[in-house]
Amino acid sequence: MSKKKSLTKCIGILTSGGDCPGLNAAIRSVAKASMNDYGIKVIGILDGFRGLVENRTLLLEDKMVSGILTKGGTILGTSRDKPHKMPMGGKKMDMTTAAVENIKRMQIDCLVCLGGGGTQKNAFHLHKEGGVNVLTLPKTIDNDVGGTDITFGFDTALGIATEAIDRLHTTATSHHRIIVCEIMGHNAGWLTLGAGIAGGADVILIPEIPYDAKIIAEHLMERRRSGKRFSIIAVAEGAVSITEIREKSDQGGKKKKNAHPEQKTEYSENSTPYHLVEEPRASKLARELQKITGIEARVTSLGHVQRGGSPSAADRLLCTRLGTAAADLLARGKYNVMVAMRNGECTAVPLEKVAGKIKLVSENHPWISAARLVGSCLGD
């Protein structure tokens, strides 16, 4: 079969930021459509922007991306390194020039970046500062990338978190306990809110709505008085209490609705960044509620389980649609955009309108209304 005409001859593709289900499905769809339909050369870049700076690549062929649709993770590897703030020899260095030079040397017409909010910003940085043509796809279980209705990885993580809450109902009922389940999502509440509603959580706490522990405790006591001897609390890792916001404000910090202490990062001797381990939000909350109510509480933190495993059917379909739409844009020479899903259609959104934009849950979102109507306490 003859190839369709393409203004793009060669692309580089990388995955950046945290891993999530659907990355391999997206790599597959971009690569297959680009190679087979348009005859575009596809270069895989290993371990995100660090691999680009260090010139670690491989030529992707059809057989290399066959059979990876159902696999979790990413065959290219990933990292959270930024091209302009990259740990090198114990320091953070601007490696933008090195990245741009490698792109030019490989004669890459466009760099395709699969990632979340940070990746969108890093890709835009390469375009703005280095004149590189880029194209991105929105990936994250947090579903917080601006400009798109949904990100790939979210549906799979939502299913995992919902199933976990389903299972917690069994032990909570048996032992008449409060069980606090901590769910990922960074500073956005999409994952916790969705899983909390779908799993029938009695309390749902998200970053966008600061919570009051006393209000939650009263809700739990009222449930007990009405004969309901267990409660499930779904809490986002970025949830914050009203008390914490007040304390931060009193200390001179900037007061904001989703105020959340930044996670500290340090560097090891080999210059690899690692995050300091902090007490989970769920632990602090469970201890506080147990003290107020006198009801036995237990904690479950789902952690990275939510980011692993095979992508759901919905995510596989989403990745395939976004990836093939990306190939069509590449063939037409339409660069510096993010391929978004809006109202059920793939749409090219200028990257300058996406970079740095975070999509949070609004107070009047239908999911919020639905949660309140079925009796879930949102802590306010």
Distances (CA, A) of 11 to 41, 91, 185, 227: 6, 30, 31, 62
Active site residue 142: yes
**Which residue in 109, 142, 202, 315 is the catalytic one?**
142
Dist. CA 50–CA 295, nearest whole Å = 49
Among left, alpha and beta (phi > 0; psi -120 to 50; other), residue 295 is beta
Residue 33, C-beta contacts closer than 8 angstroms, at least 6 positions apart? 323, 324, 326, 327, 328
CA distance linking residue 333 with residue 328, whole number of Å: 9
CA 219 to each of CA 16, 188, 230, 284, 375: distance values in angstroms, whole numbers, following the listed order:
41, 24, 12, 18, 10
Close Cβ partners of 180 (under 8 Å, ≥ 6 residues apart) = 233, 235, 282, 283, 285, 286, 289, 297, 298, 299, 300
In 3-state terms, what secondary structure has residue 345? strand
Positions annotated as catalytic residues are 142
